[in-house]
Amino acid sequence: MKKVLSLVLAALTLAALLTGCGDKKSEGNGADAAAYPTKDVQIIIPYAPGGGSDNLVRGMMKYLDLGATTVAINVDGAAGYIGALQGFNSSNDGYTIMTHNEMDLISYSMSGQSEVELFKDLEYICDVVTDYNLLCTSPATGWTTAQEAIDYINANPGTVTVGCTGSNNVNYGTTMELLKAMGIYDKVTIVPYDGGAASETALQGGHIQLEVNSLADTSSYIAAGTNVPLLICNPERIDAYPDLPCTVEAGYDVTYGKPRGFFAPAGTDPAVLEYISGKMEEVCGMPEFQEAMANLGFTVEYVDGAAAKERTIAWAESLTPVFEEMAQIGG
């Protein structure tokens, strides 16, 4: 009995030590790009298992062949911020990469939450999928077009609440800008929910009449007819919903989407970034992967690292006044 117990103890202590020390790598920039990869590549997922980002990475891992095993690590907390910083602070030897979405990275920096400018300082590997923002209502309101909603709100100012995901972030900014463009910003109340699912639940329960939410969080309700999409934030209509008008055709110039991609700590060898993005581009071309992503409500859209970084910085610039305004109302 004693022997067995002490053996178990020794094994457990060893395991604790091994896992506990595993994350303290300090090799720096010394990886040899030609030999890459020589060991497992870790992918940080800054959200809980089972979420959209988690499914994206697991779907990617199924088809991705880097020549080494990829290991998914979930680091959840503060709407993706904890994982983002953990990724940012990881060793830049090319063996730790991270999935994230640009709009949240912009939000962390521009809301003042983060001291480092994550969206500028991280290395961009590539964007692989995109998600869209929709303006939706529930069938209970009877509205089928954005104009009907606007007419009702103009006739009954102060009676309508609009849900969005989070506050002091790009989602809230998008909601604010869209409502302003529609001319109803002053006549409604925006309620921030702590997730797309929470906002959708409130819409289903009739606690809010409109919401700006992502396609991934609403598509199953749209299919069931319990969510009525009015507009999609995009310069053009998308193939999956050919009847859904886009914001630009309705005269509202609010087109922020929700791309998701892969990132690496600052200073990672460009050759390594290129190697990984090349492999990911191959996966993006596979019909199986595209179908798996469509099931999650994502549209596969490969954008290489340089282009992704460039467009993100442009978005951040155009969002600067929006964040300034949010800081004023939030303060």
- 324 binds other proteins, rule: CB under 8 A: no
CB atoms closer than 10 angstroms to residue 218: 25
- 76 binds other proteins, rule: CB under 8 A: yes
CB of 65 to other proteins, least distance (A): 17
- 331 binds other proteins, rule: CB under 8 A: yes
- 200 binds other proteins, rule: CB under 8 A: yes
- 193 binds other proteins, rule: CB under 8 A: yes
CB atoms closer than 10 angstroms to residue 158: 10
C-beta of 77 vs 245, nearer to other proteins: 77
> Which strands form 70-74's sheet, in the order they lie side by side?
70-74, 41-45, 96-101, 258-264, 123-131, 299-304
Taking alpha carbons only, the member of 46, 103, 117 closest to residue 77 is 46
Interface residue with other proteins, options 226, 238, 279, 281 (CB under 8 A): 226
- 64 binds other proteins, rule: CB under 8 A: no
C-beta of 12 vs 68, nearer to other proteins: 12
Strand positions, DSSP E, the chain:
41-45, 70-74, 96-101, 123-131, 133-137, 160-165, 188-193, 210-214, 228-232, 258-264, 299-304
CA distance to 109, 169, 193, 195, 305, per residue, from 198 (Å):
24, 17, 6, 5, 32
Interface residue with other proteins, options 63, 66, 113, 281 (CB under 8 A): 113
CB of 72 to other proteins, least distance (A): 7
Interface residue with other proteins, options 27, 40, 65, 194 (CB under 8 A): 194
Residue type, position 314, single letter: A
C-beta of 166 vs 261, nearer to other proteins: 166
- 201 binds other proteins, rule: CB under 8 A: yes
Sign of CA dihedral 284, 218, 71, 93: positive
Distance CA 259, CA 102 (A): 7
- 207 binds other proteins, rule: CB under 8 A: yes
Residue type, position 276, single letter: I
- 19 binds other proteins, rule: CB under 8 A: yes
Taking alpha carbons only, the member of 312, 298, 279, 328 closest to residue 51 is 298
C-beta of 297 vs 305, nearer to other proteins: 297
Distance CA 330, CA 189 (A): 14
- 138 binds other proteins, rule: CB under 8 A: no
C-beta of 110 vs 246, nearer to other proteins: 110
Sites of contact with other proteins (CB under 8 A): 2, 5-6, 8-9, 12-13, 15-16, 19-20, 23, 48-51, 54-55, 58-59, 72-78, 81-82, 85-86, 111-114, 161, 166-168, 189-194, 197-198, 200-202, 204-208, 219-221, 223-224, 226, 291-292, 295-296, 330-331
